[in-house]
Structure formats: structure tokens, C-alpha cells
């Protein structure tokens, strides 16, 4: 390249690096770079904010696990060898949507994060040199999902145990579902037996034909 062209290329490269750095420092998603030896190479501010710790003082993956109480969704401890970054480095394969609970001493409870880990290779190498880990805080989403599941469970319990006959149909007047009380009245032993049927196929229609 000519001197002028080389200078222009350097300027464009510097502008691209500046844009990347601004994005990296201000993005809401946590980012961690970890090398093959387990050392945490680089960490963005969002990672520290989400986890509630100063990660710049943590030098490796083992210290990361020692500093934080990390659990699976079932409450069992998240072992160091189960860390998505460690697995991605070991297998050379990316991992996506790994859920991890990290205890927050400030909130006296767990923050839940959704993690993706992607191994990175040098050109021509078949073994990764580092892993690119991203994660987002999904605590509110998880709590809302659990609350919705609990509400649905309570609603279904009320429907199933109610002495009132409850049913719902599609626009073609075929049954989509009902509660046990209605199923018994219809001459069935289980609500599922009514799904897809209409009133002409139920016991009271047969009774009406007797008169």
C-alpha cells in the first residue's frame, strides 16, 4: 500500500476499534474473556454490575467460583468443571442458554443469568486459545415465569376440584376441555375423553333420544 492508503487504513481501523470499545464498555450484556489456563483476561462493566462483584480482582476461574456462590436451577452447587466457559474450552464446542444462579449479598438472594460460551481459535489452530462468554440477567423473567406457572397451577386446581360443571369449547362447538365434574355428567371417566367431541356425542344426547 502507498503511504496515504496505509494511513487511511490505520485511521479506519482505529475508528472501528474505538466503536467496539464504546460498545464493549456500555453494552448491557456481561462479557468475560477467559484463556485456556482459566485466567480471566478481560471483563466489561456490565459483567461486574450483573454479578455484583469486582471481577478485576479475580484472576482465574477457580477464584471466580470461590468468590461467588453459584447454583443450578435445582439448588445444587455449580461445580467449577461445570462452568460453561471451562466446558467450551475443553470440548471446543459452543454452549448456549446455560442458566446459573449467582448469590447477591446485597440483595440477600440469587440473581439468575443466562450464559453463552463460544470458544475462539487462532488461525490454523484446532485447539481454542480462549473463550468468549456473554450473559444477561434474567432474574425478573424467571420470577415472572414462576409466578405465572404458580397461578396456572392454582387455577387448574380450582377447576379440577370445583363441584361446578366447567367446560370450554372451540368455535365449532367441540369441547377443548372440562373439569372432572363435567366429565362425569357427560358419561366419561376423564376430561380428556371429551376433547374433540360435540354435544351429539355425549351421554345426555343419547338419553334425550330415548324420549
Q: What values do phi and psi take at 102, rounded to 5?
A: -120, 125
Please give the mean pLDDT across all residues of the chain. Answer: 85
Q: Are 96 and 72 in contact (CB under 8 A)?
A: no
Other C-beta atoms lying within 10 Å of the C-beta of residue 81: 10
* Three-class secondary structure of residue 46 per DSSP: helix
Q: What is the largest CA-CA distance in the chain?
A: 103
When computed from its CA atoms, the radius of gyration of the chain, rounded to whole angstroms, is 29
User: What are phi and psi for residue 79, nearest 5 degrees?
Assistant: -70, 155
Angle, CA 155 vertex, CA 138 and CA 73 arms, to 5°: 30
Three-state SS at 129: coil
Name residues of the chain where pLDDT drops below 50: 207-211
Q: How many CA atoms does the CB half-sphere of 110 hold within 13 Å?
A: 18
Structure pTM? 0.66
Rounded Cα–Cα distance for residues 71 and 146 (Å): 17
Going from the C-alpha of 44 to that of each of 41, 49, 133, 135, 140, the distances in angstroms are 11, 9, 11, 11, 22
Element (H, E) at 149: helix 139-161
DSSP state of 192: G
pLDDT value of residue 20: 63
With beta carbons less than 8 A apart as the criterion, state whether 192 and 208 touch: no
CA separation, residue 204 to residues 8, 116, 169 (Å): 86, 57, 17
Could you count the other beta carbons within 10 Å of the beta carbon of residue 135? Answer: 24
Distance CA 62, CA 37 (A): 11
Amino acid at each position: 500500500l502507498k503511504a496515504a492508503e496505509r494511513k487511511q487504513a490505520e485511521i479506519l481501523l482505529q475508528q472501528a476499534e474505538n466503536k467496539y470499545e464504546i460498545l464493549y464498555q456500555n453494552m448491557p450484556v456481561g462479557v468475560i474473556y477467559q484463556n485456556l489456563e482459566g485466567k480471566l483476561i478481560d471483563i466489561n462493566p456490565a459483567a461486574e454490575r450483573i454479578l455484583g462483584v469486582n471481577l478485576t480482582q479475580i484472576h482465574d476461574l477457580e477464584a471466580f467460583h470461590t468468590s461467588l456462590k453459584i447454583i443450578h436451577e435445582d439448588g445444587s452447587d455449580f461445580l467449577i468443571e461445570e462452568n460453561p466457559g471451562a466446558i467450551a474450552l475443553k470440548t471446543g464446542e459452543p454452549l448456549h442458554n446455560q442458566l446459573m444462579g449467582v448469590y447477591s449479598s446485597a440483595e440477600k438472594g440469587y440473581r439468575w443469568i443466562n450464559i453463552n460460551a463460544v470458544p475462539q481459535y487462532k488461525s490454523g489452530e484446532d485447539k481454542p486459545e480462549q473463550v468468549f462468554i456473554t450473559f444477561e440477567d434474567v432474574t425478573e423473567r424467571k420470577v415472572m415465569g414462576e409466578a405465572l406457572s404458580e397461578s396456572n397451577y392454582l387455577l387448574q386446581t380450582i377447576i379440577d376440584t370445583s363441584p361446578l360443571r366447567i367446560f370450554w369449547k372451540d368455535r365449532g362447538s367441540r369441547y377443548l376441555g372440562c373439569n372432572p365434574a363435567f366429565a362425569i355428567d357427560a358419561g366419561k371417566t376423564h376430561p380428556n375423553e371429551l376433547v374433540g367431541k360435540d354435544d351429539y356425542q355425549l351421554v345426555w344426547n343419547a338419553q334425550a333420544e330415548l324420549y
